[in-house]
Structure 1
Amino acid sequence: MQITRHFIDVRGARVHYRRCGSGPVLLMAHQSPRSSAEYVPPMQKWGAHFTCIAPDSPGFGQSARLPGGSDSDASGVGPDIDDFGDWVAALLDALGLGKVAAYGFHSGGIILMNALRRHPERFNALGVGGYAVWTPAEMALFADAYLPPFVPSAYGEHLTWLWHRVLEQSWFFPWFAADDAHRLSVAHDDVAKVDAVVQDFLDSGDAYRAGYGAVLRAPRGLPDADATMPPVLIAAYDGDPLQAHIDRLGALPAGWAGRKVATPGDLEDAMLDFLRGHLAPEPGALHEASDEGFRRVTTDAFDGLLHWRGNGDVVVPQPGGAVALMAGDAIDLPGSGLSDPWRGAPPEDWSAWQAVLDAAGGARLSPLPQGDPARLFPDLTPDRFGAYLTRAWSIVRARAVFDPWYAARAANAVPLGPDALDPARLARAHRALLQATSARAQMVARMGRN
């Protein structure tokens, strides 16, 4: 089932969302520090029953953060959980939606629970996968260590920390409590799973602390048992550290229930069954931004979404670049920026690339970088030890000093501007390089075109 991607402005800030399926609306809120990308598999399943709408929460994925506070302020100054709950209602207004059913996992569920309490008229029902009810001692433990700053360092040391932080989140909970008492039964070293979280973390950067912090500081009190509220199901599976919190929920309002299930699949099935019993209206046309979005393009070699921005003279970034690094109107070709990858191996025949460009309406090509494509763009496939992250950082740092980057000689020196080696600037280039899975093939194709 096809998923489409869109942008919309909510209270003047850009928000990215995914959409899939048809029928009644189901709003889906992801956990922190993930993005709506984590909901691609369930959206493809649940889209048979719902119009699934999964936004990137403020400060995560491709959504702008909420105003206020400082990323570097460890005290948690900034937006609070009420700001995020009110944002949900503002998002529904911006999309042109009234009442919806909703589902949130972990911190996404806490955001939706707050939105339901503040705006109960906007919900038919709410499903929550794992709801945290912390003890004072647990809260104190989180406050001290759970949300350290994530700031790019000159030589990429932050990336080594990031890889291990994400990997060991599946070994221990909380992630920094590396002892037998905090081991998890669901430990793994699945490179694809770790990389998916790493990529979302890189998109959020230090802003992850604002959204995550608001959730961790949020009051956990539930409505009184005699309160009249839309129905809610809270469930958690074996191995989820929040499953034990089902026993902490206490007396619940009528129509509310807490449930323990065996597997993640059982959780999805339970939520689907519950939410289908509380259907919301089918939506009309959803609103979206007119100056940025995703265009579906289908050719013999490509069938996917291309990210574009602007309505003027559209430019294709050079191989290894992305729309996010461009100042004006631009489009990401397959396997770069936010665009989908090629259906198979990226072609080295320019005709396949040109067919995609033609189908997308055409664009002007940026100049090619100089150098050997194979050396400019080595293999950056994710590996078990996270070496691809620091390898990519070494490339973008060297690229700011030499042209081509692999020719570290005086004759290839690049004049250094005042911010050439600024870690924040390198971080943006690093993110684009990791996304550029077809950069080498694109350069080879362009070098060989007629």
Structure 2
Amino acid sequence: MTITRHFVDVGTRRVHYRRAGAGPVLLMVHQSPRSSAEYAPLMRDWSRHFTCIAPDSPGFGQSDPFADLDASIEAFADGLVAFLDALGIDRVAAYGFHSGGIILVNALKRHPSRFTALAIGGYAIWTPEERRIFSDGYLPPFRPQPYGEHLTWAWNRVLEQTWFFPWFAVEPATRMSVAHDDPVRVDATIRDLLDSGDAYRTGYGAVLRAARDIPAPGEPTAPVLITASTGDPLQDHIDRLGTLPPQWSACKVATPDEHQQVSVTYLAQFALAGPDRLGEAADEGFFRISVPGYDGLIHWRGSRGAPLTIHGPGRGLELLPEAALAIDLPGHGLSDPWPGEPPVDAASWTRVIEAAAEVLDARDVVYEAMPVGDPDRLFPDFQPDRFGAYLTRAWGIVRAGHLFSPWYEAKAENAIAFAPADLAPDQLAIEHRALIRSSAAREWLIARRQQEE
């Protein structure tokens, strides 16, 4: 089932969400520090039963953060209900895993009329000692450093959070049974963490500080199911839940697949139809292009009818703040990649650009300048590796690119003019993120050079 992507304005914040399927609506709230991207496989499965709606929580994925870096769990709950308002959804069944479940239970407490039922994957009941341990070291600042040191920390922190819980307590007693060393899985979380930056502490912190929001046994409430599978560090918390309201139930299950099957069966009893049309921003979003060689979603931003700016290889529209209208090319930014190997012929890229210009009513097409140098050396492979070296390799390329042209010829005769602000870590972080998102930078450079001949 196809997943589409959208933006909608919620007050002063822009929120990104994914959508898939048809039928009754199911809201899906992700854990921290992930984004709605983690639900893509589940959405493809559950979209057989529901219209799945999965937003990026404030400060995660592509959603704007709260201005208050100490926002509470109540702010996240209210923000979720405001998102429903922006989409035109009155009442909804919802699913949340870990942090997403904490947010949903608080939202149910504050806005009981908005939810028909919840299914939760693991609900944390922290002891005072656990809260103390978490407050001491669970959420260190995450800020870009001049030479990319933060990337080494991020890789190992994400990897070892499946080895130990909490991740920083490296002791025999804290080892987990679900340890892995899969670089693709680590990379998925790393990319979400890079999108959040230091804002990851806001959402994570709100959840860790959250009080137990389970209603009193006699209090009226919508039905809720809480399950946790073997290997989930929150499975033991099932025993900490205490007496639940009659409409609530909780149990331990053997596998993640069983948790998902129990949850979807439960939610199917309570999901309701939604509006015919969901809210969406007028100046940013995604549209599908189907031309020979490419069928995928293209991310765009700006004013329809303006000249369309096309970014250079290894870049994206977020690096074109002055452009009146821009897109991410296939295999760049937030747009879908090319199917299979990206093409190097100019005709394939031109078809996509012309189709995008037609959709956006662009008056003209303007191209960013192309870098000089050997495409193979300018854009080496950035596939995730076991130790995360691809992250620091990309950071070094971005930094050197402000000092030499081409970046790989660090010689006096290749030095280029620069301003110290060009090397500000926050700016390098944006360029670094664009570079590692680019799976077709080399091919776009070759094709563009063909166009210019």
Could you tell me the TM-score, scaled by structure 1's length?
A: 0.97
Runs of 4+ in 1 over 6 A off after TM superposition: none
The answer for the alignment partner of 1:176 in structure 2 is 168
The answer for the alignment partner of 1:34 in structure 2 is 34
The answer for the alignment partner of 2:66 in structure 1 is 66
> How far does residue 357 in structure 1 lie from its aligned partner after superposition?
1.4
Match of 2:352 among 356, 376, 400: 356
Alpha-carbon displacement from aligned partner over 1:121-164 (angstroms, at most 9, x marks no partner): 00010111011000111111100000000011111111000000
Match of 1:321 among 309, 315, 319: 315
Alpha-carbon displacement from aligned partner over 1:267-316 (angstroms, at most 9, x marks no partner): 11000000001122233100100100011111221111110001222211
The answer for the alignment partner of 2:208 in structure 1 is 216
The answer for the alignment partner of 1:73 in structure 2 is none
Q: CA separation in 2, counterparts of 1:10 and 1:279?
A: 23
- SS of match in other structure, 1:378: coil
How many residue pairs are counted as aligned between the two chains?
Answer: 442
1:47 aligns with 2:41: no
Identity of aligned residues (%): 58
Alpha-carbon displacement from aligned partner over 1:32-76 (angstroms, at most 9, x marks no partner): 00000000001001111111000000000000001223xxxxxxx
1:75-224 correspondence to structure 2 within 5 Å:
78-224=70-216
1:389-408 correspondence to structure 2 within 5 Å:
389-408=391-410
Alpha-carbon displacement from aligned partner over 1:219-263 (angstroms, at most 9, x marks no partner): 024110101000000100000000000011111112110011111
* Structure 1 contact 346–438 (Cα < 8 Å) conserved: yes
- SS of match in other structure, 2:249: strand
Q: CA separation in 2, counterparts of 1:313 and 1:32?
A: 38
Could you tell me the TM-score, scaled by structure 2's length?
A: 0.96
* Structure 1 contact 25–283 (Cα < 8 Å) conserved: no
For residue 25 of structure 2, what is the amino acid of its counterpart?
A: V
> How far does residue 365 in structure 1 lie from its aligned partner after superposition?
2.1
Alpha-carbon displacement from aligned partner over 1:371-423 (angstroms, at most 9, x marks no partner): 11111101111101100000000000101111111111122212221301111
* Structure 1 contact 25–50 (Cα < 8 Å) conserved: yes
The answer for the alignment partner of 1:433 in structure 2 is 435
* Larger deviation, residues 115-124 vs 414-423: 414-423
Structure 1: runs of 5 or more not aligned: 70-77
Alpha-carbon displacement from aligned partner over 1:73-118 (angstroms, at most 9, x marks no partner): xxxxx21011111111111111111000000000011011111100
The answer for the alignment partner of 1:336 in structure 2 is 332
1:292-307 correspondence to structure 2 within 5 Å:
292-307=284-299
Match of 1:263 among 255, 261, 282: 255
Q: CA separation in 1, counterparts of 2:307 and 2:19?
A: 28
The answer for the alignment partner of 1:6 in structure 2 is 6
The answer for the alignment partner of 2:17 in structure 1 is 17
* Structure 1 contact 173–183 (Cα < 8 Å) conserved: yes
* Structure 1 contact 24–283 (Cα < 8 Å) conserved: no
Alpha-carbon displacement from aligned partner over 1:159-205 (angstroms, at most 9, x marks no partner): 00000000001111111111110111011111111000000000000
Structure 2: runs of 5 or more not aligned: 359-364
> How far does residue 359 in structure 1 lie from its aligned partner after superposition?
1.9
The answer for the alignment partner of 1:253 in structure 2 is 245
> How far does residue 11 in structure 1 lie from its aligned partner after superposition?
1.1
- SS of match in other structure, 1:303: strand
Q: CA separation in 1, counterparts of 2:276 and 2:200?
A: 33
For residue 307 of structure 2, what is the amino acid of its counterpart?
A: D
For residue 426 of structure 1, what is the amino acid of its counterpart?
A: L
Q: CA separation in 2, counterparts of 1:46 and 1:221?
A: 28
Q: CA separation in 1, counterparts of 2:423 and 2:355?
A: 38
The answer for the alignment partner of 1:309 in structure 2 is 301
The answer for the alignment partner of 1:370 in structure 2 is 372
Alpha-carbon displacement from aligned partner over 1:317-371 (angstroms, at most 9, x marks no partner): 1111111111122101100001110011000011111111122225432221111
Match of 2:342 among 341, 346, 352: 346
